[in-house]
Amino acid sequence: MDKKIKILLNSERNVESVNVDTFNKIALMNDVSEIQEYELRNAISETQQYEIERQETEIYRIYGKLNYVSLLNGLRSDYGQIGDFFDKRKFENEKDVFNTFKFYLAIPSNIFVEVIGTTQRYGRKFEIIATPNEFQLMDAGFSKNVFNEQEYSFIFDIDFDISGKYDYLNFPITEFFLYAEYQPSSGAEGNEMIERFNWEAGGIITEQYTPIDLEIGDLIIGDVVEYSARNYLQAIDTNQKYVITTPISGTSGNIDIKWEYNPFIKLNARYLQSTTTKANKDSTSYDQQQSIPDHAIDLGGGNMVWREILPQGIDDNITGDGANFPFVNKRRYLFANEVLLISPDLTDQQTLNVFEEINFGEEPITISNLPITDIDNIGSPC
């Protein structure tokens, strides 16, 4: 403070000493100040704020249930004969969902290749965003499928933020893909092999594939989509297919059984509207220009087309599609109940012949005489 006050010590005071005021005087102002209304009684709606945060977040935590359906489920790592596929006894080093697959999470990448010889068809790759290190698989408690086989629960223990992510065609990311990569095994009859579709070499060809350990950011060959810019639409044209060749012993020597499955299991995170919206970005209307989202496609001449992303909790009136995930701790919790199906490849003649010859039991006995019954006399007097 600038004000200096000299205070007389008590030992120096006497009856003739001058009284000194040692307190600073503060002037009290009486000016009128207007109180703003929002500072006085602004009420915040928790429900409204919750809904705002729920719609704005694009962070997901993914978990769910997996039902593994296949004759390869719970069997030995080597198959000596066709009957081994139907023998449900426990064996040492048996194959099950835990040691037969490596699970990854992927999204459509921004790399597309136009398939040679087609029109508006693109082969797309998927980008790995989670590895088996972030994936947990466990038995689902007290849960069996219709075949009385164990079902499984899974969870990724990291969050996934898809805000601002688009694919090559500028579509917003609306789907995750659980990528189940089969691990071939070796047996007494020979080694299992895997084939897959590949569209990079021109057209859609089948090639041999050897699984490798993938890391976050790696790309894996996916499916083929048909693209329509005017309708802002891409639809699956050809799903990816993995074909597993398992050598076994047959009645006439060693034979190969082939199995097929789609390794990419789609997990819908959100949906686009079934109807398109169009606007011209050169329009003088400010409101119209502001309504054009970042994922709109330019058709030329300033004409833009897009589909709106459906808000959480809202279903499309035409298709019935919609997402309504729980929102807790600033993230959406996506639950998926999926089936991993591996079935015999009956387009392979040798596999078809084997399954046509399987005898599932004795021939049924034909009953020629009708059984004696009094069911028609129920309710009649004795």
Q: Helix, strand, or coil here: 259?
A: strand
- Do the strands 303-306 and 233-238 form a parallel or antiparallel pair, or are they unpaired? unpaired
Question: Which has the higher per-residue pLDDT, 162 or 285?
Answer: 162
- Do the strands 331-344 and 59-70 form a parallel or antiparallel pair, or are they unpaired? parallel
Q: Which residues pair with 309 in a beta bridge?
A: 272
Place of tokens 């990724």: 156
Average pLDDT, the chain: 83
In tens, the pLDDT along 351-372 reads 888 887 765 555 666 666 666 6
Q: To 5 degrees, how large is the angle CA 187–CA 193–CA 199?
A: 170
Q: Quick check: 2 pLDDT over 80?
A: no
What is the model's pTM?
0.79
Dihedral sign (CA 305, 310, 316, 317) = negative
Q: Which of 70-79, 90-99, 167-176 has the lowest mean pLDDT?
A: 70-79
From the CB of residue 351, how many other CB atoms can be counted at a distance below 10 Å? 20
Mean pLDDT of 195-224: 90
Burial tier of 259 (Cβ tally within 10 Å: 0-12, 13-18, 19+): buried
For residue 300, give the nearest of 324, 281, 275 by alpha carbon. 281
Q: Strands of 183-296 (E only): list them.
A: 186-187, 190-191, 193-198, 205-208, 219-228, 233-238, 242-250, 253-261, 264-268, 277-280
List the end-to-end C-alpha distance of the chain, in Å, as a whole number: 119
pLDDT of residue 355: 80
For residue 155, give the nearest of 175, 130, 174 by alpha carbon. 130
